[in-house]
Structure 1
Amino acid sequence: MSTTKLTRREQREHAQRFIDTLAGTAFPNSRRIYVHGSQADIRVPMREIQLSPTLVGGDKDNPRYETNEPIRCMTPPGRMATRILALMSARGWQAAPAVDRRA
């Protein structure tokens, strides 16, 4: 293991290389869905994200949780989506295998 400290420029270059090599993948606990609008032939791509239950009371031995409904987020199409997913993954989101549902 090297004890040489990287310069800020080298750190930025390493970070940029990491971001550039990320692949666009789905987020954990989410799936791609298509929402139908007022016209039957138009479907809007969205990501449905499952939320963890919220602790609302109880005690250490018998906690009470409240179920949270999934939330839906717009999914940008094309190359921009891949770039956004890569940047978000680099900032802390963990990538998971894509779960794709097509209507």
Structure 2
Amino acid sequence: MLYITWLVPVLEQFPRSQRFLLGDRLQSLALDLMDVLVEAQYRKSPRAELQRANLLLEKQRLLWRVAYNLRLADVRRYEHAAREIDDIGRRLGAWLKRLGPSTA
């Protein structure tokens, strides 16, 4: 996942106080997202995992906004993160659409 390989070195540049708070949270969410997507690939009906992935993406969007507002990330990095997260979101949406309407 390209997002994670980009994310880790960026988070290492956060100030020490935030690297272990906000940085760790962003990294954990990204790794959780990767785990959920792997699980979804092997499920007969992955809808629950994909919905969980969408929630993890939304949490990352909010944390990136916080990082930008606290000036931990410059506009270039913030925009790159937003594009990556949006791209992943579009792919999740397409996957969910292929599954058809929810039966719940």
Task: Give the structure with higher Rg (CA).
Answer: 1
Q: Which has the higher strand share?
A: 1
Q: Normalising by structure 2, what TM-score?
A: 0.27
Larger relative helix fraction: 2
Higher relative contact order (CA 8 A, sep 6+): 1
TM-score (norm 1): 0.28
